[in-house]
Amino acid sequence: MACFWQGIQSSLGKEDKIKLGITNSTIPNLIKMLKNKNTRDIKVLWQNKVLSKKEKEENYIHIKDYNINSHRSGYLCSTCDPFLILLSHTLNINIKHNYLNNIILYTVNSKNMYIFKSNQGHFMYKNKILKCDHP
């Protein structure tokens, strides 16, 4: 899904870009900045569960090894996606990913939620809820 990166890119506001260190709003630069923020010290809950040390390590390696130049070929977003986990962690936001009417939650201690929607072939940004009552 090349649209994965477009969806992420369209969700980012000015403050998000500052947190990520983005000055050039191209997709390769977005990926580069996310890779620069890569960490094993993730505080995100996935489906209200703490990620295991092994899951954190696998996510770290996935992001570290991701080829920035492959973005044009698409990106297969997983149900426990390393880049969405990192985005949630780095921006301190909750993410609600509606995949074929299945809700996947990435949560941190935040009242802000970004909503994405996808099916087998398309990923898109839906909207941003600031100061929501619950994730």
Q: What is the pLDDT of residues 60-98, one digit of tens each?
A: 999 999 999 998 888 888 999 999 999 999 999 999 999
- Of all helices (H) and strands (E), which one includes residue 27? helix 27-36
- The tens digit of pLDDT for each residue in 112-124 reads 999 999 988 888 8
Model confidence pTM above 0.85: yes
pLDDT at 99 over 80: yes
For residue 134, the model assigns a pLDDT of 43
Strand order from edge to edge, sheet including 113-118: 49-50, 45-46, 102-107, 94-99, 113-118, 123-129
In angstroms, the CA 23 to CA 39 distance is 21
| Among 89, 86, 77, CA closest to 116 | 77
- The tens digit of pLDDT for each residue in 12-50 reads 999 999 999 998 889 999 999 999 999 999 999 999 999
pLDDT band of residue 125 (cuts 50, 70, 90) is confident
Please give the average per-residue pLDDT across 119-133, as a whole number: 72
Q: Are 5 and 116 in contact (CB under 8 A)?
A: no
Q: Which residues contact 32 (CB under 8 A, 6 or more apart)?
A: 68
For the chain, give the number of residues.
135
Specify the 3-state DSSP secondary structure of 83. Answer: helix
pLDDT band of residue 11 (cuts 50, 70, 90) is very high
Say which amino acid occupies 89. Answer: H
For residue 133, the model assigns a pLDDT of 47
In angstroms, the CA 27 to CA 46 distance is 25
In angstroms, the CA 109 to CA 45 distance is 10
Q: Which residues contact 52 (CB under 8 A, 6 or more apart)?
A: none
